[in-house]
């Protein structure tokens, strides 16, 4: 599978404008997947372990959605999805050998084991989805068993695009580190996580991200054939809140944790 970052040229891969362009592109991906998911009710049962027995797999204690996600990841690992440095599995134990010859990606990132997928999934199921699936101009929608499979399939796409977005923080962090090595080495050596967080934060860019996202959610969520009063396909406020409270903060966690590991094996260690 292709990486969204241009890895053929490591200098370009670490240029901040190039990375930010990819982050903007990913907003579209995340939004379109969420719009697909929001057409179905929340269907909370699919997130509850054991609530839906998985036939022929009695030993599993996964929720239905987790079982779909894990099965997809197992298949996708065989076609090299997780060889790309911007892809991280939610179920590392499901990784299988690839059926294609392995790829050799140039090393752009520093060695690290940062992965926030567990936390991302917890927030997606517990907070993001309940908000996104309500208040699209309709009453609370009842569970629909016939949509269990479609809901979980859309969840996989949402979770994978969100995971990719927040782990792009590693490229951002590497780029920022190279721009001001002296400052970051000092902060990292002092284990000053708050100082690192302040150093990587750009409030103006964050404000712009949220404004652009609101516009996109309003535009993509409105059918051009419908009148202006018709219900939107997506809860615009929920989308903006998702980025403000979860996506940007988790991207920053990834950036800080990546930088905390950045001096391992260097002359500064």
Ligand X SMILES: O=C(O)C(=O)C[C@]1(C(=O)O)C=C[C@@H](O)C=C1
Minimal distance, residue 197 CB to ligand X, in Å: 9
Minimal distance, residue 169 CB to ligand X, in Å: 7
Counting DSSP H helices and E strands in the chain, the numbers are 12, 0
Distance CA 61, CA 144 (A): 22
Looking at the Cβ atoms of 34 and 209, the one nearer to ligand X is: 209
Please spell the DSSP secondary structure of 180-231, one letter per residue: SHHHHHHHHHTT-HHHHHHHH--HHHHHHHHHHHHHHHHHHTS-TTS-TTSP
Minimal distance, residue 166 CB to ligand X, in Å: 8
Long-range CB contact pairs, 41-44, < 8 A, 24+ = 41/133, 41/141, 41/142, 41/143, 41/144, 41/147, 41/151, 42/129, 42/130, 42/133, 42/134, 42/141, 42/143, 43/143, 43/144, 43/147, 43/148, 43/151, 44/143
Looking at the Cβ atoms of 68 and 109, the one nearer to ligand X is: 109
Q: Where does this chain bind ligand X (CB under 6 A)?
A: 20, 23, 172, 200-202, 205-206, 209, 248, 251-252, 255
Distance CA 22, CA 16 (A): 10
Looking at the Cβ atoms of 187 and 248, the one nearer to ligand X is: 248
Looking at the Cβ atoms of 192 and 206, the one nearer to ligand X is: 206
Minimal distance, residue 132 CB to ligand X, in Å: 19
Minimal distance, residue 138 CB to ligand X, in Å: 31
Inter-axis angle of helices 148-167 and 169-179, to 10 degrees?
A: 10
Question: What is the enclosing helix (H) or strand (E) of 34?
Answer: helix 16-38
Nearest Cα to Cα of residue 48 among 133, 153, 152, 161: 152
Residue closest to ligand X when measured from CB atoms: 251
Minimal distance, residue 202 CB to ligand X, in Å: 4
Minimal distance, residue 189 CB to ligand X, in Å: 22
Looking at the Cβ atoms of 38 and 248, the one nearer to ligand X is: 248
Looking at the Cβ atoms of 91 and 110, the one nearer to ligand X is: 110
User: In the Cβ-directed half-sphere of 163, how many Cα atoms lie within 13 Å?
Assistant: 24
Distance CA 226, CA 205 (A): 33
Looking at the Cβ atoms of 48 and 201, the one nearer to ligand X is: 201
């Amino acid at each position: 599978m292709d990486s969204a970052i241009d890895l053929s040229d490591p200098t370009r891969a670490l240029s901040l404008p190039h990375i930010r362009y990819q982050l903007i592109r990913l907003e579209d991906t995340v939004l379109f997947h969420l719009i697909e998911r929001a057409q179905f009710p929340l269907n909370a049962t699919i997130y509850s372990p054991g609530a839906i027995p998985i036939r022929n797999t009695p030993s599993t204690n996964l929720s239905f959605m987790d079982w779909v996600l894990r099965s997809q990841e197992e298949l996708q690992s065989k076609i090299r999805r997780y060889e790309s440095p911007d892809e991280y599995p939610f179920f590392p134990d499901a990784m299988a050998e690839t059926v294609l010859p392995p790829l050799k990606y140039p090393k752009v990132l520093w060695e690290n084991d940062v992965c926030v997928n567990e936390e991302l999934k917890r927030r997606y199921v517990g907070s993001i989805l309940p908000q996104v699936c309500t208040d699209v101009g309709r009453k609370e929608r009842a569970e629909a068993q016939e949509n269990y499979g479609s809901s979980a399939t859309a969840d996989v796409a949402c979770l994978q695009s969100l995971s990719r977005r927040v782990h792009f923080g590693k490229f951002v962090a590497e780029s920022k580190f190279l721009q001001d090595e002296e400052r970051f080495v000092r902060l990292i050596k002092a284990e000053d996580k708050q100082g690192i967080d302040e150093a990587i934060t750009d409030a103006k860019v964050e404000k712009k991200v949220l404004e652009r996202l609101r516009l996109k959610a309003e535009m993509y969520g409105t059918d051009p054939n419908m009148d202006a009063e018709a219900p939107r396909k997506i809860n615009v406020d929920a989308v903006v809140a998702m980025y403000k409270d979860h996506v940007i903060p988790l991207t920053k966690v990834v950036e800080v944790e990546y930088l905390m590991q950045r001096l391992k094996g260097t002359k500064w260690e």
